[in-house]
Chains A and B, each alone.
Chain A
Amino acid sequence: MTPHPIHDLDDDVHQRVRLGILASLSGLAKADVRHLKTTLGVTDGNLGRHLQALEEAGLVAQSKTTGNGRPRTWVKITAKGRRALRDEIRALQRLLGEVGALSDQPDTARELSLDT
Chain B
Amino acid sequence: MDPIAAELALAETAATKRRVDGLVRTAMAVPLRLLALAWIVLCPVALLVGRNHLGPAVGIALLAVTALAWMQYRRVARERGVRARLWPWLGVAAIALCGGAATSRNGTDHGVAWLNIAGPFVVNALALLALAGFVHSRAIAIAAVTMLAISFIVAGTLSGNVAVAVQFAAYAAVLMVASARIGR
Contact = CB atoms under 8 A, between A and B. Distances in A.
Interface of A: 6, 9, 14, 16, 19-20, 23-24, 26-32, 34-35, 39, 67-68, 72, 74, 89, 92-93, 95-96, 99, 101-102, 105, 107-109, 111-112, 114, 116
7 contacts: A20-B13, A28-B23, A31-B81, A89-B13, A93-B10, A96-B10, A111-B14
Given A9-B1, A92-B9, A101-B3, A28 B20 contact: yes
Contact of B17 (A6, A31, A95, A112): A112
Given A27-B23, A27-B24, A101-B3, A108 B11 contact: yes
Contacts, number: 93
Interface of B: 1, 3-4, 6-7, 9-14, 16-21, 23-24, 73, 77-78, 80-86, 136
A33 to B, nearest CB: 8
Contacts of B83: 28-31, 74
A72 B74 CA distance: 14
Given A20-B16, A27-B24, A92-B6, A6 B85 contact: no
Main secondary structure of the interface of B (DSSP, over half): helix
Given A28-B24, A28-B85, A96 B12 contact: no
A45 B20 CA distance: 24
Contacts of B85: 27-29
A39 B16 contact: yes
Contacts of B86: 29
Given A20-B12, A105-B10, A105-B11, A72 B81 contact: yes
Given A32-B81, A92-B6, 13 more contacts: A14-B9, A20-B12, A20-B16, A23-B13, A23-B20, A27-B85, A28-B83, A30-B83, A39-B16, A68-B78, A102-B10, A105-B11, A116-B17
Contacts of A23: 13, 16-17, 20
Given A105-B11, A112-B10, A114-B136, A31 B82 contact: yes
A29 B3 contact: no
